Amino acid sequence: MNYKIKKNIFSASVLCYNNKLSSGKLADVFLMFIERLRRAVQPGFMAVILVSIMSAGLFTFVAGCGKKAPPLPLLKYMPAPPVALTYNLSNDRIILKWTYNDKKNQLSTCRGFRIFRAERDLSGNGCKGCPLQFKKIAEVSPDRLNFTEKIKKGFQYYYRIRAYSENNVQSSISNTVEVKYP
């Protein structure tokens, strides 16, 4: 490849990367560049060069920038999280209680609460260094600020709660309570 071709590729790449060209002008530059390449390069290499240029251009426009993560809802639509999660043990039953105050958020309507639980075997058979796997165990209505469940001996339980809105947008997670039931 001669110097002129390398210079044109570099110039077009820099212009594309810095978004100095609008899409219409970019298409004109691209077509002009392809025409110059067609004249300067042997026909057999033209296909290889075109594929390389197109994939580089596609990468430039598709790759984007910044941290990739699942999309998040606007904070104004996110319900407030439940607070002050506590528990009481009564025989083989755990009673969870929490408070909820959604004054900060007039746009979200709390539709209910989702209760999540993780458990660890106290006998030592489980993985001690593994992260907790929380699973949704129940949903309760927004007017109910408690939950009761029967638990088994020999386990350590962890509970947390999330509020959710009419649009199924979940709040951040409440505090986590830890219960040992030997």
Give 21-32 pLDDT, tens digit per residue: 455 566 667 677
State the first-to-last Cα distance of the chain, in angstroms, to the nearest integer.
75
Per CATH, domain 75-181 is 3.40.50.1370: no
Q: Tell me the pTM.
A: 0.59
Residues of the chain predicted below pLDDT 70: 1-28, 30, 37-38, 40-76, 102-108, 126
Domain boundaries, the chain: 3-63, 75-181
